[in-house]
Structure 1
Amino acid sequence: MTTYQIISATGLKQLQQQAEVQIVDIRDPASFEKGHIPGAVQLGNHNLTTFIAQADMDKPLVVVCYHGISSQSAAEYLHQQGFDEVYSLDGGFAAWPWYD
């Protein structure tokens, strides 16, 4: 059973208009620095425990990777950690049309 949802880039923009959304980007730090969705936090093994301890489990959480594959397993994991509403960005950062 899937415990997260797939969301399109347009769907994410719409969700951001309706609610305060937490966005985590699981790409490597260098890729994150080159460009990321505004408001996103780079999430990796170095800050995962701290992020989970400090995050609001009730706010929607969107996981972003390169192309939308790795984010699915990360979304599943984060849901298991207690996040209620978790999404994986379909197509990943490559599908985000609003980057510079």
Structure 2
Amino acid sequence: MAFLIILVVVLLAIGLFRYYRQRTFLKVLTEEQFVEGYRKAQLIDVREPQEFDGGHILGARNIPVTQMRQRLVELRKDKPVYLYCQGSTRSARAAHLLHKKGFQEIYQLKGGFKKWTGKIKRK
């Protein structure tokens, strides 16, 4: 029983550490803040292609988080990167990878595409 309690405490501590560390390099923006800046940035949808084709933010490029490592050459480190996925999990993973690769200005849409009320494009 004591082992389980220690395990739960350790897992919670790791989760909290990751959350606070992520906040040092990933800025979460409301939809209004996101709209203000994404036209001057690299707008990346990190969902899978079939999700992207079903509807995406106008002007977004699709680089799925599963392909991000191989496609880093498509992104510029000197321009802000605006990320979104369906919620926020995959874009947070993509942000972590970008941060490790030296990207400085990384932003995430709060609530993801499911909360987006702006213009969208479907294929």
Counterpart residue identity of residue 26, structure 2 = Y
CA distance in 2, matches of 1:74, 1:55: 12
Aligned residues: 97
Q: Which has the larger radius of gyration?
A: 2
Deviation at 1:46, TM superposition (A): 4.0
Partner secondary structure for residue 44 of structure 2: strand
Identity %: 29
- Cα pair 1:35 1:99 within 8 Å, conserved: no
Partner secondary structure for residue 58 of structure 1: coil
CA distance in 2, matches of 1:70, 1:55: 17
- Cα pair 2:69 2:97 within 8 Å, conserved: no
Structure 1 residue 29 corresponds to structure 2 residue 84: no
Which ranges of structure 1 fall in alignment gaps of 5 or more residues?
A: none
Structure 2 length as normaliser, TM-score?
0.69
The one of the two structures with greater contact order (alpha-carbon pairs below 8 A, sep at least 6) is 1
1:8 match: 30
Deviation at 1:57, TM superposition (A): 0.6
| RMSD, aligned α-carbons | 1.8
Which ranges of structure 2 fall in alignment gaps of 5 or more residues?
A: 1-20
1:49 match: 70
Ranges of 4+ aligned residues in structure 1 off by more than 4 Å? none
Which structure features the higher share of helix residues?
2
Structure 1 length as normaliser, TM-score?
0.83
CA distance in 1, matches of 2:28, 2:35: 14
One of 81, 89, 95 as aligned partner of 2:109: 89
